[in-house]
Structure 1
Amino acid sequence: MPLSSGAYTGTGQYFVRFRVGTPAQPFLLVADTGSDLTWVKCRSTAAAAEGRVFRPDESRTWAPIPCSSNTCTASLPFSLAACPTPGSPCSYDYRYKDGSAARGTVGTDSATIALQQQRRAKLRGVVLGCTTSYNGDSFLASDGVLSLGYSNISFASHAASRFGGRFSYCLVDHLAPRNATSACAGGAASPPPATKVPGGGARQTPLLLDHRMHPFYAVSINGVSVDGELLKIPRRVWDIEKGGGAILDSGTSLTVLVSPAYRAVVGALSKKLAGLPRVAMDPFDYCYNWTSPETGEDVAVAVPELALHLAGSARLQPPAKSYVIDAAPGVKCIGLQEGEWPGVSVIGNILQQEHLWEFDIKNRRLRFKRSRCTQ
């Protein structure tokens, strides 16, 4: 399925083109590894007249889930208790960690997904929310959310069960134009040869499917280094058992590090950039004027190399633009945010950009490789 940056809309999301219903109705959904409910805006959604809207009554394969069913009461943790009659549709109120929410009724329908070589596949029985009201700026530019989280009801799990227990995605540069597309797919990751980056060999690390992180995918971080020097970060910061840990979230743009890790990483990076003039810009703590007063061009400053050392001797070495990011013309900022400790650190989509990611749910492995991603 085609995947693209939502930068043209002013959001930090990635959008995937998704077709649902019979006949298939096309939508643009936020790709979110932190969600277990796939939903689309429905006919009665506010402002639906301005964009695409799902019409369940026009789909031959739409089947409402009754509120009295075991699926509604036991399998959907976000379902509401209200059940006027046994045959009434299952209602939901889905809340996100940023405070946004979606409300409506849930059913199942068929999804049509694009495969390689212009082939298509139909997935039947996909759990789908028909959202009639929502709040949150992240949903203004999209038609809903594609659930890529770890859950028996998510689209990712449904697709993975059809395609070898795996799914993958490749995130283009977060500032790429809307016509620069990559792919979100079920099965093994196989980018076109032209997308591969020299020197970017595939790496793998255990994929932690811990119930305390549900529906997120967690990874085990052993340490963080800047220019090859391992930073002094308490091990408990990365330990799920001690209130820490780290997850990947394609629905969050900036990477969030809990306080002990944030202070160590930002301290090391800012020390290396100390020769540049500082400027103030929310929501960042460290921003720099990157423009030469003599030439008006970007100054030639080497950005320190950041590396996340993962379990299994795998290292995530993102390109410099993924953590020292363009924030305004001539201004670059350390693109990390501080999170509360105890708490979980989040590897956001900007730090994931220009990598091909394969989530092998069946074998609990995460594989990744540098890639330009564009098709």
Structure 2
Amino acid sequence: MHRFILLFFLLILSSAPVPAFSAGSHLRLTLHRRPESTGISRLEILRTMIHGDRRRHRMISDKIRRRRRVCSVPPSPAIEMPVWSGAYTGTGQYFVRVRLGTPAKPFLLVTDTGSDLTWVTCRYHGRADSPAPSPDVNGGGGRRSKRVFNADLSRSFRPISCSSDLCRTELPFSLSTCPTPASPCAYDYQYAEGSSAQGIFANESATVELLNGHRMKLKGLIIGCTSTSVGSSFISADGVLALGYGPNTFVSRATAKFGNLFSYCFVDHLSPRNATGHLTFGPNPDLFPHSPSARLILEPKLQPFYYISVAGISVAGELLRIPASVWNDSSGGGAILDSGTTLTILAEPAYKAVVSAISTQLINVPRVEIDPFEYCYNWTTAAAAATAVPGLTVHFTGSGNLTPPRKSYLIDVADGVKCIGFSSTPWPGVSTIGNILQQEHIWEFDLKNQRLRFHPSNCTEGSFYH
């Protein structure tokens, strides 16, 4: 798992029979913030998240290198789930509530565009040594206990056999062990920051709610029944919702039903606890028809990551001198959009150009030393009050330019202290646009046309920033 600084969301899916739904409906999930932890400073949380970001990025880079060496559904209604930020809990994810099984039970899952395994803490044939279920999945005060999925009680739970072609050739991190042909397909899934999950693969259903209020079953999902998980990434969640690109992810199943489109909107990471964003499968009614866009690079060797075609970055209106190879995925570079990484991580040539340009504009503001950031400033001084933070724009190939709010790259790390919120990775290496730079925008992934559309928004229905 991964994730690191403040932002994350909860998907909500409700249960009920499957009635007919109207052509104008869609599914939306709301993103919710987790409650504040006590006794943990903002800086300590940021340090933990940045450490996880770096480990996650190393694993992403390793996975990309390995995969580089290898090698029509009509528009429909939509579903929407609320998403909550996990800020100030010591983790850096967004959470969504998903209802799994028959009868459907609610679970709090991490939203992860860099993952291709959806899993839940699970007990099957009584084998899992799992914590007791918690009565609270609504984001109440204090640290919640994990809710455990009892697979034996779900009428729709179907283990995938280890002898199947699906297990042997397609499922991520499946193990070669197969005691009998009917034995379940086992996995050992490793995450970028060092976390891991072990269990068995199965087919299962989720109950989702359409925008028109009707409910339906999303059948044929491949999920992981996790008996053992290791790492701090999962402390506040029951598992992971895989939003990565690939043939067997939650995204592949949901978008096949809802028009090959999904989108999300992350609220500001410092917004009130009750603020929610949303995760939508199907057309997003809040996105403008002619919103800016970028080209999505979707290739089997790059799965499950969403590569985007970047042309350059400008600061204070000036295009920076960054080698074109930094944005070229075929030459060891490229850029991905990742909901699970907090800070934006830039390959070294881009990082040096960006932080140099921003810090030059802030030369009169007193510097302070705060590890692990390279550039931090005392923002309580008169010099800071008299200094304008330079604008930053990410230029995509095509018609899209992302101009994030200044708080998304000059971030608050402590009272009266702001730091340039970028991290670096050695070149050659892949750059990652993290969720802080993505906040307060709707991001729509058009998988059929391989386009990424986006627009500023505070994530409430019908509200945009122009």
Q: TM-score range by the shorter chain?
A: over 0.9
Give the match's secondary structure for 1:138. Answer: helix
In structure 2, the CA distance between the partners of 1:268 and 1:45, relative to structure 1 (3 Å rule), is: farther
Give the equivalent residue in structure 2 for 1:335: 421
- 1:190 & 1:288 partners in 2: Cα distance? 40
Q: Does 1:21 align with 2:101?
A: yes
Q: Are 1:72 and 2:167 an aligned pair?
A: yes
Counterpart amino acid of 2:265?
C
Match of 2:39 in 1: none
Partner of 1:56: 151
1:324–1:332 CA contact under 8 A, matched in 2: yes
Distance 1:215 1:93 in 2: 17
Deviation at 1:156?
0.9
Counterpart Cα distance in 2 of 1:234 and 1:46: 50
CA contact (8 A) 1:39 1:145 kept: yes
Superposed, which structure 2 residues align to 1:358-373 within 5 Å? 358-373=444-459
Which one of the candidate residues 344, 355, 378 is aligned to 1:289?
378
- Cα distance change on mapping 1:104 and 1:243 into 2, 3 Å: same
Counterpart selection for 1:238 from 315, 318, 327: 327
Q: Deviations over 1:277-297 (max 9, x none)?
A: 111222211111111379xxx
For residues 222-279 of structure 1, give each alpha carbon's deviation from its aligned partner in whole angstroms, at most 9, with x where no partner exists. 1100011000001100011111000000011111001000000011011111111111
Post-superposition offset of 1:108: 1.0
Q: Tell me by how many angstroms 1:124 deviates.
A: 0.1
Q: Please, which runs of 5 or more residues in structure 2 have no aligned partner?
A: 1-80, 134-144, 462-466
Aligned AA (1:278): R
2:404 counterpart (318, 321, 329): 318
1:153-192 aligned at under 5 Å gives the runs: 153-191=248-286
The number of aligned residues is: 366
Which aligned segments of 4 or more residues in structure 1 are displaced greater than 6 angstroms? none
Alignment correspondent of 1:374: 460
SS in 1 for 2:251: helix
CA contact (8 A) 1:201 1:369 kept: no
Distance 1:204 1:139 in 2: 33
TM-score of the two chains, using structure 1 as the length reference: 0.94
How has the CA–CA distance of structure 1 residues 45 and 248 changed in structure 2, closer, same or farther, with 3 Å as cutoff?
farther
Q: TM-score, normalised by structure 2?
A: 0.76
Does the CA-based 8 Å contact 1:323-1:336 persist in structure 2? yes
Paired residue type of 2:413: A
Give RMSD over aligned pairs.
Answer: 1.8
Instruction: Decide which of 232, 243, 253 is 2:342's aligned counterpart.
Output: 253
Deviation at 1:301, TM superposition (A): 3.2
1:4 is aligned, of 81, 84, 109, to 84
- Contact residue 121 and residue 146 of structure 2 kept, 8 A: no
Matched, 1:116 2:211: yes
Shift of 1:46: 4.3
Contact 1:67 1:87 in 2 (8 A): yes
CA-CA distance at 1:300 after TM superposition: 5.0
> How far does the alpha carbon of each residue in 1:178-221 deviate from its partner, in whole angstroms, 9 at most, with x for none?
321121011112239xxx9xxx9721111111333210010111
Match of 1:34 among 105, 110, 114: 114
For residues 439 and 423 of structure 2, the distance between their equivalents in structure 1, rounded to whole angstroms, comes to 17
Cα distance in 1 for residues equivalent to 2:301 and 2:390: 34
DSSP-derived class of the 2:297 partner: coil
Please state whether the residue corresponding to 1:7 is helix, strand or coil.
coil
Per-residue CA distance 1:148-198 (angstroms, 9 max, x = gap): 000111101111000011111111112233321121011112239xxx9xx
- The 3 A distance-change label for structure 1 pair 29 and 347 is same
User: 1:210, 1:218 within 8 Å by CA — same for their partners in 2?
Assistant: no
In the alignment, the residues of structure 2 paired with residue 340 and residue 212 of structure 1 have an alpha-carbon distance, to the nearest angstrom, of 22
User: How has the CA–CA distance of structure 1 residues 114 and 284 changed in structure 2, closer, same or farther, with 3 Å as cutoff?
Assistant: farther
Structure with the largest fraction of strand: 1
> Where do 1:211-222 residues align within 5 Å?
211-222=300-311
1:6–1:178 CA contact under 8 A, matched in 2: no
Report the Cα distance in structure 2 between the residues aligned to 1:300 and 1:136, rounded to whole angstroms: 44
| Aligned partner of residue 356 in structure 2, secondary structure | helix
Report SS of the residue matched to 1:159: helix
In 2: Cα distance, 1:176 partner to 1:10 partner: 17
In structure 2, distance between residues paired with 1:110 and 1:134: 22
C-alpha distance 353-201 of structure 1, shift in aligned 2 (>3 A): farther
Contact in 1 for aligned 2:365/2:381 (Cα 8 Å)? no
Q: Deviation string for 1:103-139 (max 9, x for gaps)?
A: 1111011111232133323200111101111122111
Asked if structure 2 preserves the Cα contact closer than 8 Å seen for 1:7 and 1:176, the reply is: no
**Contact 1:287–1:332, Cα closer than 8 Å, also in 2:** yes
Residue of structure 1 aligned with 2:181, choices 82, 86, 90: 86
Q: Tell me if structure 1 keeps the 8 A contact 2:207–2:216.
A: yes
Q: 2:361 aligns with which of 272, 295, 307?
A: 272
CA distance in 2, matches of 1:7, 1:94: 25
| C-alpha spacing 1:167/1:85, structure 2 compared with 1 (3 Å) | same
Contact 2:117 2:172 (C-alpha < 8 Å) held by counterparts: no
Identity %: 57
Following the alignment from structure 1 to structure 2, what is the Cα–Cα distance between the partners of residues 290 and 120?
A: 49
Q: Hey, what's the Cα distance between the residues in 2 that align with 1:282 and 1:129?
A: 37
Q: Please name the residue that 1:147 is paired with.
A: 242
